[in-house]
Structure formats: structure tokens, C-alpha cells
Structure 1
Amino acid sequence: MPAPDARRGAASGPPRTDRADLTAWVAVAAGALGAMLATLDISIVNSALPTIQGEIGASGTEGTWVATAFLVAEIVIIPLSAWLERLLGLRTLLIVAVSSFTAFSMVCGLAGDLVTMIVGRTGQGLTGGVLIPTAMTIVAKRLPPAQQPIGLAVFGMTVILGPVMGPLAGGWLTENLSWHYAFFVNLPVCALLLLLLFIGLPHERADWSYLRDADWTGIAGMVLGLGGLTIVLEEGHREEWFASPLIIQLTAVAIAGFALLAFGQLNARKPVLKLSLMLNRQFLSVVVMALALGMVMYGSTYVIPQFLTLVSDYNALQTGLVIFWMGVPAFLLMPFLPLMIRRIHIRLAVGVGMALMALSCFISTNLTAESGGGVFTESQFLRGVGMILTMMFLNQATVASVAPEDAGDASGIFNAARNLGGSFALAGLATFQDQRIWHHSRRLEETISANSPRVQEYMDGLTASLGTIEAATGVLARTIQREAFVMTYNDVFTAMGVITLATVPLVLFLRALPKDTTLSLH
């Protein structure tokens, strides 16, 4: 009797030829649309978060769980997607995931309290997270090697456009309709996605032996380890890190979880995730670069909206338009990406991509209190070019560096690493910002002497125009705080640029992509 993997491989569709048929491209389109939907829903709520908090009666700290719940659930489920796909079959898994994602989106849109919203967002993360790595699995299974660069180009573009379009879509819907539509908009998109899945993917029988022989120790360890680590990274700064008993307990949970995962890797007959793939130097390099990519991608989309909101007084829609510039290169380069993947060495492409992302950060280190969204146009465009180059070649390397039957595990590890990189970036940037704001505020205060004639003249003028010395003092304090904010954001972009530049030497560990096939554009 053939092994389950062999049966599943035979059931995954007709033998691949040099050219994919129409149904294969429909499947690729479905995978790309699902991945964009999942990544877009990470950030679409951010623009509407202040409004949502007010309407569901949540405080600022409680409201952050609207975003955190989604991210934690998504990071936990992404590495499990390969095991679920082997268990249920690709089409069944995706149909269940998309249907459930739609239902949980409606729960969020109708939520009137924080608990309901968090339940809905957790469900969205668990079901939407499946859509990201399976998009790469569809490309690996349904397209012949010669056409995989085209499929990966489509996938990479949608993964980048999701976080970019999220703030813009969320801002427009909030400003012109209601925050509820940030969730209701998923209904027609999911309906189209289900149609494409039914057309593009063949049915595969569920293989319940994977349930009977499951690495339950590894599954529990992955849930506890990744879930605990993500919450620690997301909430550590607000809870003052290890001064908080909650953070200490969650850290212990994460450590115990990773210990269980390691036990499963060593003892299970079928480990839930083939972490042994990272013994491959090529694949390990890709994973490390994915961490760096996630740091830049999510770090920049975190810092720029903060600056525009706090310093430039932009609303959600205006901020979304600035962020959208990062997605423009994906549209412009899309027709050329498959050919570039075949012709340009991966080291050169990824090295240039990471260098451009570093340069985009250094360009933004001369901000002033008068800076508006226009100062980010050039840097956002460069960042977009760098991200699409890096993402596309690393996507291709993920598939090319492992056997076809390991594509699902490799995709899960790659995408989880990218999202974890984002969590590391957000945790580090939040702590760094607080330290630098305090530092610059104290330094500015030290330079202001009450005995200085210029300071006295300035305060006299403010007092005369505002009527009281207390009002004048308040204006001075806000001015100091604003300037400290601006100086801090200059420091943040400098730090992001240095960290990104430091990852460029990692490209030396990447091997050239295979060029033994001819690219077909039809």
C-alpha cells in the first residue's frame, strides 16, 4: 500500500506539464487573493481602532487586543497549516478556512463589546492564517517549475499589498461609512474566493491517519510556545516587561512550549512541522532573512502612521495614502518579476533589496515638526522596491531549497518567521521610542534656562497672547514634547536602517536559484 504522502501527491491533481492549465491559474489566483485578505486584515483595523475602542467601550490598553488577538492566532496557526493540509486535503482545508473566516468577520462587524470582538478577531487569525502559507503550497503543487516564478510573483505582490492597503482601506471605510465595514467588506471577497477554490482545486480525500498519528506534544508545544512568545512581545512594553507577573508567567509558558516542541521533533514518528529543514543552510538563511524582512515591513508601517498622527495631525485616510506609496512598486515591477527571478542572482537581488530598505530608512532621518506625508514619498517608494525584490526572491528560494513534498512545511516556517520578525520589531521599537523620548525631553529641558533673556522674552510673549503664565508654560511643555517626538522618530529610522544594513551580509549564505528550466509566460 502506498504511503499517505504518496496517495496525497497522486490526488493533488493531474501530472504537471511544462504549461499549467486554466484551472491551475484559477487556483493560484485564489491562493493570492486569500493571502492578501489575511494580510490586509492584520492592518485594516489599525486605522479604525480609536473609533472601535470608543464604540465597544474599551480602554486604550484593552483596545490593543483587537489587533493582538488576530496576530497571536495567526502566528500560531501558520506553522500548523502544512499538517492540516495533509490531514484534510488542500481544497477542503481552504473552503473550511474561508467559510469560517467569513463568519468570524461578521462576528467582528456586529460586535458590541470587547469580548465578542476579541473572540471574532481570534477566529479571524486562526482561519485567515491558513490562507498565507497555503498560497505558496498551491504554487508549488499546481504549477510546473518553469512557471512557478510567475505564481510566486503574484503571491509576493499580494502579501506586500495587504499591509499597505490595510490602513488605506480601513481609513476610507471609517471616514466615509463606518468601522463595521472594515469587516463586512470581507463577505463579497470571500464569496469570490470560495468560487475560485471550487473551480481551481481538485478534491482530495481526508487522510485521518494524520489525526491518529499526530504529534500532539509538538502541536501543544507550538501553540504554547509561539502564542506565549507573541503575547510577551506584543504586551511586554505596556506591562513593563519582567516587572509584570503576567509577562513572567507567559515567558515560562513559552519556554515550556518550545521544550515540548523540541521533544516532539526528537520523538514523534511524524513531527507536526519539519524543523529539520532548517539544517539546510540555504533554507536557514532564507528564514533569517525573513525575520529581517518582517522587521522592516511591519516596523515601517508602525512608525510612519504614528509620526503622521502625533506630529503632522493626519487622519486615518491621509495616513493610509502615504503608506500606500510602498505598494506602488509591486504594481510597476509585477510584469518583470518572473524574468528577473530567472536572470538575476539571488544574492544580488536580495542584497540590493535589503540595501534599498536600509536607504529608505536613512532618508527619513531628517524629519522636523513641519514635515508632512510628502517627505515619505521617496522613502516609501524605495522601501517598496526593496521589499518586492527581497520578498520575491526569498519566496522562490523557500520553494527551491526543499523537496516538493516539504513545500508546505517550508512555507509555514518562512511565513511564521516573517510575522515573528514583525513582532520583534514592534516590541523593540516601542521600548526604544519610550527611552529616546525621555532622553530627548530631558536634554531639551536642560538647555532651557529660566534666566536666559531669550527664554524670558519668549515666555513674556506667550503670556501676553494667552493671558496666563500657566497657559504659556503648557505651550512650552507641549513644544518640548513635540520636538522630543520628532528627534525620537529620527533615531528610530536610523536604528531601523542600521539593523537592516547589518543583515545584508547574510546574502552570502544564499545559493543561486536553479536555472535548468525555461520561463514560460503563457
Structure 2
Amino acid sequence: MGFSQLMITVAVMICIFMSSLDISIVNVAIPTIRGAIGVSISEATWISTSYMLANVIVMPAINFLTSMFGKTRCFFAGVLLFGIGSFMCGLSWNLESIIIFRALQGIGGGALIPLSQAILRENYPPHEQAKAMSFFGIGIVLGPGLGPTIGGWITDNISWNWIFYINIPFVIIDLILIYFFILNRSEKFSKDIKVDYIGLITMAIGLGALQVMLEKGQENNWFSSQFIVNLAITSVVFLTLFTIRELTCEKPAVNLKLLKNFGFSNPTVIQGIFGMGLFAGLFLIPILFQEALGYSATEAGIGMIPRSISMAMFMPIAGRLYNRTGAKKMIMFASALISLSFLPLSFMSLNTSAWDLFWPQFVQGIAFAFIFVSLSTVALMALERKDIVSGAGLYNLVRVLCGSIGTAVFATELENYQTINRFYLTEHVITNSPYSVQGFMTNPATLLSPYTTSPAITNFFAGINQLLLMQGASAADLPNKAYTMLSNFVDRQALIMAFNNVFFTLCLLFCVSFILSLFIVEKKSSWHREGGSE
């Protein structure tokens, strides 16, 4: 690797890591930020929503922007916008200001991901494309994986403002590297490009409504809320108009016709499944550690590190194996491995330890590394040079959007399963009772009572009562305190059972990925066949 190529790779990896890190680093600090600026939980979630919203709108439009202003200029501008947004987020004084600056940060970050992927591919020869995608993948997967741990430590030990300020030194270094090693001063501004305003507007409204619906659906009880229904209708109408427009327009803002290329579209669909699994895992695992198994936030962050470590370790190995085995075998192997790794997570109990979760996560990291490198390489290998930027934007949009869909779907599934399991457990306790339960029949909210239980639960109460008396509780308080302890235990048991249900669904999801991998077509465009030259 030459010095110039090394500097380009370093610059690109810094961009990727910063952009992907800021997807998750803020989430753990939201309770602190909420207290600092005095807003409700529902209002505070817009801090994350605004960033993701800007991301998904910019990604598919990146080809249009680079056509007007030039690829390397857009790259430089994206880093600059991200840095300005980060600095201003740290200075934010109220909810409105932090939402605006997070959106500015998201515009820059959304542009960086597809441009980074395109620039890496163009600076590596065809036989090293998988190597380039392994570097890209390290930044993509490490950022969201380490975000909660880094964000939690900074928030607890310094200040929430520094989760934004921490980007500034890296932005400055990156701007210097881009200026000297990437920026192409010979790029010309294209003044005669016909702007597809209809496509851009319908895309922005449609994707915006969809992203807000996914972010706010759980909070508003989905389609029982008129707000969510209106967002769904808006999204469907405008995305339909956008699709029709882009498929019929002579110069579309987003080239959806690339999806007709099966060598590109099939890996893109599998990438969507990968995005659902990756982002759902980043959402579910901390809840599992904290709410079901009783770990602290810091311990939960540390508990998530195995997957990030194994992904970083095996990305370079996956890049080397690609040229020997090809994409199809790697994707089939990785899909099967991920599916199998979710099986142990489908049979957990409250006695499950962090060590029990270490190996499934570590194995998932290996599989994610293999599938990420091979999918990215085979998908973009099918495109001509002129379509690389547009294809990278679409490809990454699918990953981010499906990640949002996966998080929303599995969060809802987790909550629904927990409710179902709690009723099942409660019914089991009640129906095994030798007593008549008139109180429960008239007030189902009571759920459990020391007087409505089976002999086994009666023994449970006897032991708990003895423990409470030893701790100084009065006899009058025993029934309520014992009931509360049993109710909490049933809640945790219902939650761990819900996690089992959700992880089994993820296991089946990657079985679908395995089936789709059987149809992978390793097709090279003429540009790649000719050695990647102009």
C-alpha cells in the first residue's frame, strides 16, 4: 500500500467511524440531555430522530449532489458540515437548537457514508476491492457497537456536551487529509444539470414521513394513533409518486433503475436483512442486560463489546478470503452462522450470564464481518463506474432504513410478547391455585395475590415473608411487599421469555437471508473487468 493510498484510507475510515458512531453515541446520553434542557422523554427522542431523518434523505440523493458539485468537493463539504453540526450540538441551549444542529450533523454524516464507499473502491484495484470494503466495514460496524460504551463513559465522567465535541479534533485532521490527498481541484461545477425537483421533494417527504413513523410508532402505539396513520398514508403516497417519477424521468435525482440489475439488487435486499439484524441487536442487547439480567448501563455497554471486537478482527480476514472463495459461499456461510448464533439466545433464562452471551455475540461478529465485506463487494462490483456513487447511496439507504424498520418491528414484538407471556404466567399461577379467586375475577389488574396461588407459590411467599421479617419489615407490610417481589419476578420472567421469542424470529430472518444467498450472481461490470480504469 502506497503512502497516498494509506492516507486516503485513513481519511475515509475516520469519516465512516465518526458518522456511524453518532448514530448510537447520543442514545445513552439522552436522559442526561433531557434533564439539562428540561424536556419530556418523547420530545428528547427527536434528538436521535433528526439525525437519522437527515441521513436517509441525503443518502439516495448523493449522486445528484456529486453531479452538480463534484465528488471530492461534496466529501470535503460533508466532513465540514458534520464538524460544524457537532460543535453547535455541544453548544445547544434548548430542544429546538439541538434538533436543528443534529439535522445539520446528519446531512453531513449521511453524505459521508456512500461517498466514503465510492472513494475507497476507486482507489483500490479490482483484485483488492474486498480489502477496501473490509476497511469500510470496520468503521461501519465499530461505530454503532462502541457508541453506547463511549457515550456512557463521557456522559458519566465529563459532560454530555463532549459526546459532540469529541468529533472536532478528528474533523480537523480529516479535513487536512482530504485537502491534501483526496480533493480534486480540477472538478468543475455543472451549471447545466436539469434538477429533478419533483423527485427530490417527493423523496424527502416520503422518506421523512416513513422515518418519523418508524421512530415514533412504538411511542404512539402505532396505528391506534391518528398521527402515525397520517404518516403512513403520507409515506405511501409520496414514495409511490417518487418511484413512478424516478423510473420515468430522463434525468432522475435517484437512479432507481439500478435495481433492475439483479447482481446489485439481490445483495442489496440481503443487506437490508443484515441491517435489520445489526440494528435490532444494538437495540435489544442493552435492554436484555439491564432490564432482564440486572446489569448496569456501563456493564451493558461492556457486554456488547464482543461482537464489535470480532467484527473488527475478522473484517481484514474476510477481505483476503473473498478472492479465494467468492461472495456466494461467504454470504451463505455467514447467513447460516448468524442464524445458528441466535439459537442459544432463544433458550435463555434469568440465570443466563454475560459469559453465556459472550460467544453468541462473538460468533455473530465473525458472521457479520464475512457478510458485510462480501455483500458490499459483490453488489458494487456489478455497477459501472458512473453508477458507483448512486449505487452506494441506494445500498446504504437500504441498510439504514431496514435498520430503523428492524428496530421498530422487534421493539414492538418484544413488548407484545412480554404482555402475552405475563398473562400466560399469571394464568398459570392462578389456575393452579386451590383457592377461589373472586378478587381477581372482579379486578384483573390485581394479577397476583398471596392468597391466589398454588402450593409452590405459597412456599415462595413463606420464604419471602421470613426474609422480610429478618430485614425488619412489619407483619402488616408482608402481603404487599411479598406480592410486589413476586410480581417483579413474573415481569422479568415474561421479559426473558419475550427475548427468546424475538431472537428466534431473528434466527428465522437469517434463514431467509441464506435462501436469498443461493441466488447471488457474481457479475462484474465492464469497468471492473477492464481493471478499474477510466
Q: Equivalents in 1 of 2:277, 2:227: separation in Å?
A: 28
Q: Partner of 1:428: helix, strand, or coil?
A: helix
Residue identity matched to 1:480: V
> In terms of mean alpha carbon deviation, does 185-194 or 23-32 score higher?
23-32
Counterparts of residues 464-475 of structure 1 (less than 5 Å): 464=466, 465=468, 466-467=473-474, 468=477, 469-475=479-485
Residue 205 of structure 1 is aligned with which of 175, 184, 187?
187
Q: 1:111 matched to which residue of 2?
A: 92
Identity among equivalent positions (%) equals 26
2:78–2:109 contact (8 Å) kept in structure 1: yes
Q: 1:11 matched to which residue of 2?
A: none
Q: Deviations along 1:154-203, whole A, 9 cap, x unmatched? A: 11111111111111211221232222211110001111111111122122
Residue 135 of structure 2 is aligned with which of 132, 154, 162?
154
1:360–1:382 contact (8 Å) kept in structure 2: yes
> In terms of mean alpha carbon deviation, does 237-246 or 489-498 score higher?
237-246
Find out whether 1:438 has 2:419 as its counterpart: yes
Report the Cα offset of residue 91 of structure 1.
Answer: 2.1
Report the Cα offset of residue 347 of structure 1.
Answer: 1.3
Residue identity matched to 1:493: F
Q: Equivalents in 2 of 1:513, 1:28: separation in Å?
A: 26
Q: Deviations along 1:411-458, whole A, 9 cap, x unmatched? A: 011100111111111111121112111111111111223153333343
Report the Cα offset of residue 376 of structure 1.
Answer: 1.5
Residue 508 of structure 1 is aligned with which of 518, 522, 525?
518
Residue identity matched to 1:372: S
Q: 1:430 to 1:166 in 2, by over 3 A?
A: same
Q: Equivalents in 1 of 2:530, 2:348: separation in Å?
A: 48
TM-score, normalisation: structure 2: 0.89
Q: Equivalents in 1 of 2:381, 2:247: separation in Å?
A: 26
> In terms of mean alpha carbon deviation, does 80-89 or 108-117 score higher?
108-117
2:315–2:369 contact (8 Å) kept in structure 1: no
> In terms of mean alpha carbon deviation, does 275-284 or 356-365 score higher?
356-365
Residue 494 of structure 1 is aligned with which of 483, 487, 504?
504
Residue identity matched to 1:190: V
Q: 1:374 to 1:179 in 2, by over 3 A?
A: farther
Report the Cα offset of residue 84 of structure 1.
Answer: 1.1
Q: Partner of 1:269: helix, strand, or coil?
A: coil
Q: 1:377 matched to which residue of 2?
A: 358
Report the Cα offset of residue 94 of structure 1.
Answer: 1.7
Q: Equivalents in 2 of 1:480, 1:517: separation in Å?
A: 64
Residue identity matched to 1:157: I
Residue 339 of structure 1 is aligned with which of 320, 326, 350?
320
Q: Equivalents in 2 of 1:447, 1:254: separation in Å?
A: 43
Q: 1:483 matched to which residue of 2?
A: 493
1:136–1:155 contact (8 Å) kept in structure 2: yes
Residue 163 of structure 1 is aligned with which of 144, 151, 154?
144
Q: 2:443 matched to which residue of 1?
A: none
Q: Equivalents in 2 of 1:204, 1:322: separation in Å?
A: 49
Q: 1:190 to 1:126 in 2, by over 3 A?
A: same
Q: Equivalents in 2 of 1:513, 1:175: separation in Å?
A: 50
Runs of 4+ in 1 over 6 A off after TM superposition: 515-519
Q: Deviations along 1:448-493, whole A, 9 cap, x unmatched? A: 2315333334334434514312222111111111111111111111
Residue identity matched to 2:190: W
Residue identity matched to 1:506: L
TM-score, normalisation: structure 1: 0.91
Residue 163 of structure 2 is aligned with which of 172, 179, 182?
182
Q: 2:456 matched to which residue of 1?
A: 454
1:89–1:204 contact (8 Å) kept in structure 2: no
Q: 1:89 to 1:204 in 2, by over 3 A?
A: farther
Residue identity matched to 2:272: L
Report the Cα offset of residue 369 of structure 1.
Answer: 1.9
> In terms of mean alpha carbon deviation, does 108-117 or 218-227 score higher?
108-117
Please tell me the root mean square deviation across aligned C-alpha atoms, in Å. 2.0
> In terms of mean alpha carbon deviation, does 138-147 or 214-223 score higher?
138-147
2:265–2:379 contact (8 Å) kept in structure 1: no
Report the Cα offset of residue 204 of structure 1.
Answer: 4.1
Q: 1:347 to 1:456 in 2, by over 3 A?
A: same
Report the Cα offset of residue 307 of structure 1.
Answer: 0.9
Q: Partner of 1:205: helix, strand, or coil?
A: coil
Residue 102 of structure 2 is aligned with which of 121, 130, 133?
121
Report the Cα offset of residue 516 of structure 1.
Answer: 6.4
Report the Cα offset of residue 129 of structure 1.
Answer: 0.6
Q: 1:28 matched to which residue of 2?
A: 9
Q: Partner of 1:473: helix, strand, or coil?
A: helix
Report the Cα offset of residue 38 of structure 1.
Answer: 0.7
Q: 1:94 to 1:451 in 2, by over 3 A?
A: closer
Residue identity matched to 1:474: T
Q: Equivalents in 1 of 2:455, 2:122: separation in Å?
A: 75
Find out whether 1:390 has 2:392 as its counterpart: no
Q: Equivalents in 2 of 1:271, 1:28: separation in Å?
A: 31
Report the Cα offset of residue 80 of structure 1.
Answer: 1.1
Q: Deviations along 1:275-305, whole A, 9 cap, x unmatched? A: 1011111111011101101011101111100
Residue 41 of structure 2 is aligned with which of 45, 49, 60?
60
Counterparts of residues 344-359 of structure 1 (less than 5 Å): 344-359=325-340
Q: Which runs of 5+ in 2 are unaligned?
A: 434-451
Residue 221 of structure 2 is aligned with which of 219, 240, 247?
240
Q: 1:230 matched to which residue of 2?
A: 211
1:32–1:158 contact (8 Å) kept in structure 2: yes
Q: Which runs of 5+ in 1 are unaligned?
A: 1-19
Find out whether 1:298 has 2:279 as its counterpart: yes
Q: 1:111 to 1:375 in 2, by over 3 A?
A: farther
Q: Deviations along 1:27-85, whole A, 9 cap, x unmatched? A: 23222221111111001112222222222222222222222221121111111112111
Residue identity matched to 1:82: N
1:437–1:484 contact (8 Å) kept in structure 2: yes
2:290–2:300 contact (8 Å) kept in structure 1: yes
Report the Cα offset of residue 142 of structure 1.
Answer: 2.7
2:247–2:257 contact (8 Å) kept in structure 1: no
Q: Equivalents in 2 of 1:87, 1:257: separation in Å?
A: 25
Report the Cα offset of residue 240 of structure 1.
Answer: 1.8
Residue identity matched to 2:421: H
Find out whether 1:40 has 2:50 as its counterpart: no
Residue identity matched to 2:133: L
Q: Equivalents in 1 of 2:173, 2:298: separation in Å?
A: 26
Q: Partner of 1:364: helix, strand, or coil?
A: helix
Q: Deviations along 1:245-292, whole A, 9 cap, x unmatched? A: 211221222123213312432443311111101111111101110110
Count, aligned residues: 499
Find out whether 1:272 has 2:274 as its counterpart: no
Q: 1:143 matched to which residue of 2?
A: 124
> In terms of mean alpha carbon deviation, does 380-389 or 440-449 score higher?
440-449
